[in-house]
Every structure is written in C-alpha cells, then in structure tokens.
Amino acid sequence: MGEITLRVRVPDGMERLFEREVKALVKAFESGRKKPRVVLDDVFGIVRSEKSARELRLEVHENAVSLL
C-alpha cells in the first residue's frame, strides 16, 4: 500500500477534527463504504442552529426510524 502525506491549513482548534475526518475517509475507502458515518457529537457546536442538541438528536432519530 502506498503512502501520501497531506499538508492542509485548517482554522485554529480544528486540527483534531480534520484529522479524524481524514482517517474516517481512508477507513471508508478501505472498507468499500460510499461515505463515512458522522456522529452528531462530532459536528455539534460547529454548525449553528437554533435547536438544542437534544432536539437535533430527536430529529435524527425520528428520521432514521422513518427510513426503516
């Protein structure tokens, strides 16, 4: 397997999040999934919303249940 080194400029404090996302993408490519799964806790606080975290979680859960 080859190796690639990425050099990316990200906003201060976002280094770990970006690193996790890149690792998730690599893992997704290796496992053959179309895209990585993102947990709401990973993006909470980044995306501004008028809803609380609890409301967002309930909405996600309702949408996931409706897909079944």
Residues of the chain scoring pLDDT < 70: 1, 32-47, 68
Q: For residues 51, 56, 57 and 61, what is the CA-based torsion angle, rounded to 10 degrees? A: 140
Tell me, what's the pLDDT at 5?
83
Burial class (CB in 10 A: 0-12, 13-18, 19+), 24: middle
Tell me, what's the pLDDT at 42?
67
Q: What is the pLDDT of residues 30-45, one digit of tens each?
A: 776 555 566 666 666 6
- Per domain, the residue ranges of the chain are 15-67
Tell me, what's the pLDDT at 44?
63
Which residue, 18, 8, 9, is CA-closest to 38? Answer: 18
First to last CA, the chain: 38
